[in-house]
Amino acid sequence: MNRNRKGLWVFTLMIVGGLLAAAKTSYAADLTIQDGRFTLHNGAMQVADPSATDGYSARMANNSTGWNIQYENWDFSELEPGQLYDVSVMVKVKHAAANPTGNAFKLGLYDSTSASYVIPEKTVAAAATSDSTWKEYRIGTFKPNASVNDIGIYIAGAANSSQVSDIYVDCIVYRKHQDYLIEDASFVKYNDASTVTDGMAADLSAGRVVNGPGSNWNLQVPIDGTRIEAGKSYRISMLVKPEMTNWTTATGDVFGYTVYDFTSNTYLINPTIVHSSALPKLLFYQNIVTAPIAPNPSHDVKICFYKVDNAANYPAFQVDSVTLAQDPSDELPHSSMQAYPYKISPADANGLNDVAKLTYTLSSSQTVSVNIYRASDHSLIRTLVSGVLQSGMNTVVWDGKNNSGQTVPNGLYTAAVSAGSADLFRTNVQVITGVSLTPAANTAKDAIPKGIFYEGLAIPNDSAGANAYLNATFGDIRQLGADTVFMANWDSKPAHVYASTLAKASANGLKIVGLPDYTSLFNEALYNDETAMYDQIGRLINPYTNSNALYGYYLRDEPENDAKLADNLKDMKRMLETLDPSRPVLMTYVGVDRVEMHYNEQKPQAMNIDPYGVTEGSGLGDFRNIYHLPGFSYESYMDFASLQPRKDIADPAPLWTILQTHNNAGWLRDPTAAEIRAMTYEAIGHGSKGFTYFMYQTEVDWEGLVDANYQRRADYYTVQALFSEIETLKPTIRNMRRTANVAAASGGGNAAYASADVTTHVDSQTGDKYLVVVNHDVTQPATMTLTIDRSQLGMDITAVQNVLDNANVAFATSGSSYTISGLPLEAGNGVILRLVKDPSLTIVEGQSASFTLYNNATNNHTDVSASDGFTAKQTITTTRGWNIQWTWNPAQLAPGATYDLYAVVKVKYAADTYVDGNGQTRFFAPSGMAFSYGVYDATTSTYPVPETTMPASQLDNMFWHTVKIGSFVPSLTHDQTVFIMPWDNPSQLKELYVDKFYMIKR
């Protein structure tokens, strides 16, 4: 082959600016490359040609097989990222013989960076051409934005000038690949098959088949042979919607289909009956994909639908459309070496595509080097690997710097894996100016949403139908007491549906959390190109940012355990917050490894989880088997989820909980009203600030708050009552901050739990403390006794109040405890009890700014959970000392008075979880000592309060503990100090924090 590349890079770089400029506006569905942008070799030239579209064409003599007419490019910013394009060339030839024989020319798509064909070369026979007549010849289908490798389209001669003397090329055309869509208007209908109007159909109409006796092919979809290629395989997708007599009980056969060649009288797909067990229960069209077929374009081939004799359950079914999608074997450029991302922006060092991971696989052990070259002149920029023996898959990272440690200028660079002087693999990396990101303030930290999950695909596509549906459902949701709607699957809808959704939400006083057409963001080309991703996000949200109903963006539901996805979600989240800093970007996390991975990577403005607690086979009120994880219960899982933001002491993200009101066959049991109530109050107790119920509509395999006919089910009224209570409790919940528990309960247990669930909280404004108590018995009322440890409570109280109704609750006082006896709670019910701090207490307080610190202990760390917003911190090492000390001001103390001295302390464990011998994930439980504490009198060299050790096992992970140092009479003249000495136990604990010390006069 003739690969004359002289002058190629100069030409390519000249056109990049224009291509990049175009990317900021819109993408071309079709793109025509005129001959003026070709590179020409071996006598090929541009000639005036009135018959060409632009008056010129490229001409070459057919006297060789050289690739004499080429178009080469590596930047396809004019084309939509991630989309398939069909590539064709407009060619005419001049016949030298009346009926030419042999071949006329060849054409193909070649990746010169990886030295491989993107699309195999095609040969056009002379007999398939017409003399001096322009004809479009299809090369194939590929993804132009799948790399920044040098992709060349070429037209080569066939060295057959005695038959075809000259070859002319007018232009190259990229057309966005369209699957072959057959709408119901083209369906052939027999007997009682009909066309019906349906707002759920994409074109607002569908074909309908009535079920009953017989199996006639009453609905037939003809395949137009001119729309398909011979010898190619096609996947058939059918959008079908069953009509059910009863959503709950309908079962059995739903419909039948087959693909039949009437010309050859053969089945391409044998008659197939679709059973209800194979279909999720949905009230909108479902996509059913068949096995691939290779129909003959010259034959009469039809996709046929037929009735089944099960009208009692499924009286009819509707077919919206049928799509034939060719699986192009040539859609991705082949490369033995991959760069991810292949566009990097190292200069800004903002964590967004700053480095490229270069991956390659060696079939045998070889001594290789990996170098980075400037693509334009192949000068060496950086050596990443030098003469190292490797085998198998290898990954090396390039950070966009040269051998001197300087960031390279923008441009195209080639990464090459070589053995000796021969390159084994090559791929390109483009260095660009990246997107400028702006950190956003947390706008969700004080919100307490009362939410409902809502199926966005259930909204009709027609304007009138959408408005009516949204009015009815949003009005019903508002009566439910919700104020926030989380839009699931808010995708593949006309633009007017998104606008109507927001308008109707606003009219009903609701806020929307959603992102229109969010699935368009999840494509490989956008992952690699931050500017294209940024532009695409802007296109999605710009029409709706002025809506007062749009509260936030719902980016992803339950992302998988995938580090690459986690990184991409982080990038999307930061771009959304830059484009619209007034709205939070939210996701829902599940599992253990996924929660930690995604939250720590993305740092969303709320930790949103769905800890569905009622599993199939569980006893009533037994919430212990969450996600089939034996080491986690509903309660401990929420503690684990809330731990992720708590580990970053400056992170204000609240915990939001999606609460179960549904079943799911094979996994979840439908909770009772008492269980829904218990899970809600336990969510409050375990720190949740947001309450969203799953879900509103009935669909898939679960029943929602309304049934398939939108009649309210019993759960609707349960949630309605809970929303009313949450509204009353909002001011308290907003100020509550979870701390280590100080109370023990008896009563209120069941077979799974020994007693009621009790958690402790402090009011960030008043200093009052709270107990959230939940009756685990969901079958009958229970009476509980609560014993509160006064030393752990760290204050005296004057009253106990039920926050919901402000009723006083009786309690008894002893030297060591407060006791609340005979607390009644209905089955599964919960209560928030306010422990009112004695306002007459004389308190002397020392915040962290007044501490004396030693041995690398530090203070003034922003801590959103600390009483004044700051803490002292000590990283645990292999040494220990009295590193955190406070010396009080004696002038603030009463002579001869006894004071109780307290410290407010928390620790961070060395790990969150561990995997036991059975491969199960469990909570990490530290051992050894956490710290010691006491009071030292330097004047007398004595301990007014003896030094005491605190076992690590007695401290929760990142919850504040009030530790009573002791009771003593402080000297007004001696040099006395209270100390905390972190223990030398780094294998068990990472850090120790101290919020404050304080004294209470007795």
Of all helices (H) and strands (E), which one includes residue 306?
strand 301-306
How sure is the predictor about 333, in pLDDT bands with cuts at 50, 70 and 90? low
Residue 394: how many CB atoms within 10 A of its CB? 17
How sure is the predictor about 736, in pLDDT bands with cuts at 50, 70 and 90? very high
What's the pLDDT score for residue 3?
33
Q: What does residue 121 show for φ and ψ, rounded to 5 degrees?
A: -60, 140
Q: Quick: pLDDT tens for 616-643.
A: 999 999 999 887 778 899 999 999 999 9
Q: What does residue 207 show for φ and ψ, rounded to 5 degrees?
A: -85, 145
Phi-psi region of 252 (alpha: psi -120 to 50; beta: other; left: phi over 0): left
Residue 613 to residue 657: CA distance in whole angstroms:
12
Q: Quick: pLDDT tens for 935-955.
A: 999 999 999 999 999 999 999
Sheet strands (E) in 49-162: 56-61, 69-73, 85-95, 103-111, 116-125, 135-142, 151-157
Q: Quick: pLDDT tens for 568-613.
A: 999 999 999 999 999 999 999 999 989 999 999 999 999 999 999 9
Residue 1002 to residue 1000: CA distance in whole angstroms:
6
What's the pLDDT score for residue 334?
66
**Is 113's pLDDT higher than 50?**
yes
Q: Confirm if 114 and 558 have CB atoms less than 8 A apart.
A: no
Q: Which of 982, 984, 1001, 1002 lies closest to 992, judged by CA?
A: 982
β-pair partners for 737: 762
What's the pLDDT score for residue 630?
80
Q: Confirm if 241 and 199 have CB atoms less than 8 A apart.
A: no
Structure tokens at 684: 């409050």
Residue 193 to residue 176: CA distance in whole angstroms:
35
Predicted TM-score (pTM) above 0.85:
yes
- Count of alpha carbons within 13 Å of 118, Cβ hemisphere only? 29
What's the pLDDT score for residue 332?
66
Q: Which of 144, 128, 15 lies closest to 87, judged by CA?
A: 144
Is-cis flag, bond preceding 695, omega within 30? yes
Residue 331: how many CB atoms within 10 A of its CB? 17
Task: Tell me if residue 66 falls in helix, strand or coil.
Answer: coil
Q: Which of 973, 969, 965, 962 lies closest to 1002, judged by CA?
A: 969
Residue 378 to residue 416: CA distance in whole angstroms:
11
Q: Average of pLDDT values for 161-183?
A: 97
What's the pLDDT score for residue 662?
95
Q: Quick: pLDDT tens for 187-235.
A: 999 999 999 999 999 999 999 999 999 999 999 999 999 999 999 999 9
Percent over 90 (pLDDT), the chain: 92
How sure is the predictor about 11, in pLDDT bands with cuts at 50, 70 and 90? very low
Residue 542 to residue 512: CA distance in whole angstroms:
16
Q: Which of 675, 757, 691 lies closest to 723, judged by CA?
A: 691
